[in-house]
Amino acid sequence: MFVFFLSDVQITLAQLEARSNRTDADTAYKQGLALAQKAKSEGGSMVEAVAALNAAAEQGQPFAATTLARMYRLGDGVPKDDAHAEALIARVARSSDPVVLFQIGLSYLPNSNQQSEEKNVDRAIPYLLRSAQSGYGPAVGPLGFCFMAGSTERQDFVAAFQWLSLAAAQGDESSRMYLERLRPRLTAAQTTEALQRLNDLRSRMSARPAGLPSVTPYSSATLPGQAPPPQTAR
């Protein structure tokens, strides 16, 4: 004989509802991406895409929120609205998921044919840093770029060197290019410090437990307008 307590049933129903909501949110997110990509390729309206992404974001889909934030920050298919972009990011800013943190950071960076804004580069740094320190590989190169191209208050050539070096060693060509531009700007003392910090960073990274994912279903390549850092350095 099985005895079911009301609290157990309520918990089960809540779990099923949460799972259903996640499924609905993911479906709306994927639909929004498909509609956005179609609108871009055909030069059509983004209205349906934005509606689907909004529905997903309202249901807690974090990548829908970061995608919309980037669109509004850049004016990509929607009116440019930095305040609305920040409101969307606020919904997911407390996440500890390194992939979500990476996408938040990326939402502040421009497309390759656009000039970066120092204030947005500065905003990206904390999210990309947390993602990279968690071992998420795709965050490493953009983080190095941000330390190189940030404002006077956040610019750190030594940190830029260590993160760009790590990304370049993993085969990232953009990071290698930025690293070559950075080298002449370092003093001898900064170069020595950067190399020491790079060795320390590599030691910490190699000591991480195996199994940390380096790719996810929601990589930057799946998102409309999500591009690497621009091809010009400050």
Same domain, 64 and 124: no
What number is the average pLDDT over the span 104-110? 93
Same domain, 192 and 172: yes
Residues 73-106 pLDDT 10s: 999 889 999 999 999 999 999 999 999 999 999 9
Same domain, 150 and 83: no
Which of the listed residues 60, 94, 128 is the one where a domain comes to its end? 94
**Is residue 122 predicted with pLDDT exceeding 60?**
yes
Which of the listed residues 51, 78, 94 is the one where a domain comes to its end? 94
Same domain, 37 and 149: no
Contact 228, 110 (CB under 8 A): no
- Distance, CA of 136 to chain centre: 10
Number of domains in the chain: 2
Residue 141 lies in a domain: yes
Residues 13-47 pLDDT 10s: 344 344 445 678 999 999 999 999 999 899 899 99
Integer CA distances (angstroms), 76 to 5, 140, 156, in order: 52, 25, 30
**Side chain identity at 156, as an amino acid letter?**
D
CA–CA gap between residue 155 and residue 14 (Å, rounded): 47
**Is residue 8 predicted with pLDDT exceeding 60?**
no
Q: What share of the chain is helix, strand, coil (3-state, %, to 5)?
A: 65, 0, 35
Q: Which of 117, 172, 103, 112 is nearest to 144 (CA)?
A: 172
Which of the listed residues 31, 66, 94 is the one where a domain comes to its end? 94
Residue 176 lies in a domain: yes
CA–CA gap between residue 206 and residue 197 (Å, rounded): 14
Same domain, 165 and 232: yes
User: Cα–Cα–Cα angle for 211, 109, 33, nearest 5°?
Assistant: 70
Q: Which two tokens stand for residue 37?
A: 């990509």
User: Range of 187's domain?
Assistant: 100-234
Tell if the pTM clears 0.75, that is, is over it. yes
Residue 11 lies in a domain: no
